[in-house]
Amino acid sequence: MTVAFLGTGLMGAPMCHNLVASGADVRAWNRSADKAQATGASVAATPVKAADGAVACIVMLSDGPACRDVLFEQGTAARLKPGALLIVMSSISHPEALEFAAIATGMGLRWIDAPVSGGTPAAEAGTLLIMAGGMAADIKAAQPLLKPLGRVVHIGPAGTGALTKLINQITVASTIATVAEAMILAEAGGADPARVREALMGGFAASRIMELHGQRMIERNFVPGGPARYQVKDTTAARQVAMGLGLELPVLNLAHQLFTDLIAHGGGDLDHAALLLELRRRNGLTD
């Protein structure tokens, strides 16, 4: 009853560790083998070997192209046990999720797109929000594997989990931008940003972004939990979906441009709370 786990990076490593700790027989693969070894899982030399005969495969790779390459171009998915659960928890685009679901089901596999929210703290604590798209029976079958990782919300059919993740990401991106503007306005107006954050956390403006990323901005702690370059990947995908549906989403477009500019100025590998730095640059402010 082996479970394959592909991708043990910042998010994948604690997720894999929690799955191992739950008692699952996990065979992990990562491009850097030492990261897979640290999870406590048995380590496979290749993704194909990790998947060989597995009854389920959890994927936490960087993006859609990486998933396509590893799962389908390298033949990894074809090595899973017939009827296996293929659970892609990577942040992939909505069209990619629909395409991959069609390929997987055509191979006789059970597909779930199940991206997550909560960042590395929630991954470590096993309290991720898991947004699942797929058949109800398949998601029910996957519950023993997903429960150690967090709370599952079944959104709807294949692709809706990936769509919900994009909706989550545009909400996060625009809120980070607003919180960064609030911190700059507080400082420029002579108020202590830390006291402003404390006050706002007791009112209607309170949010997880204000709580966690507002504190990061105050401390200038931009060690990546979620690198800014991944935010642009997600805002790009969301803009493509919006354009395909004929929607105009100006706040999404603005947030996308701000994060794009942050990356252009060298902030791609910083936490997405580092958007504060781009807004400070635009206003001629220096620390």
Confidence of residue 1 (pLDDT cuts 50, 70, 90): confident
Which band of pLDDT confidence, cut at 50, 70 and 90, is reported for residue 225? confident
Give the separation between CA 166 and CA 94, rounded to whole angstroms.
8
Confidence at 286, pLDDT banded by 50, 70, 90: confident
* 19: pLDDT strictly greater than 90: yes
| DSSP per position, 118-186 | SHHHHHHHT-EEEEEEE-HHHHHHHHHHHTTTEEEEEEESTTHHHHHHHHHHHHHHHHHHHHHHHHHHH
Helix (H) or strand (E) holding 280: helix 275-282
Q: Taking the domain 3-157, which CATH number applies?
A: 3.40.50.720
Torsion sign across C-alpha atoms 218, 222, 225, 226: positive
Position 227 pLDDT exceeds 90: no
Rounded to whole angstroms, the Cα distance separating 287 from 285 reads 7
Q: Please write the tens of the pLDDT for every residue from 159-216.
A: 999 999 999 999 999 999 999 999 999 999 999 999 999 999 999 999 999 999 999 9
The model carries a pTM of 0.88
Q: Looking at the chain, which residues constitute the CATH 1.10.1040.10 domain(s)?
A: 163-282
Task: Look over the chain and give the mean of its residue pLDDT values, rounded to a whole number.
Answer: 96
Q: Which amino acid is residue 133, in one-letter code?
A: G
Question: Would you state the pLDDT for residue 119?
Answer: 85
User: Does the annotation count 165 as an active-site position?
Assistant: yes
Domain 163-282, classified CATH 1.10.760.10, yes or no = no
Find the angle CA(89)-CA(93)-CA(98) to the nearest 5 degrees.
85
pLDDT in tens, 56-111: 999 999 899 999 999 999 999 999 999 999 999 998 989 999 999 999 999 999 99
Write down the catalytic residue from 49, 147, 165, 233. 165
| Proportion of the chain above pLDDT 90, given as a percent | 92
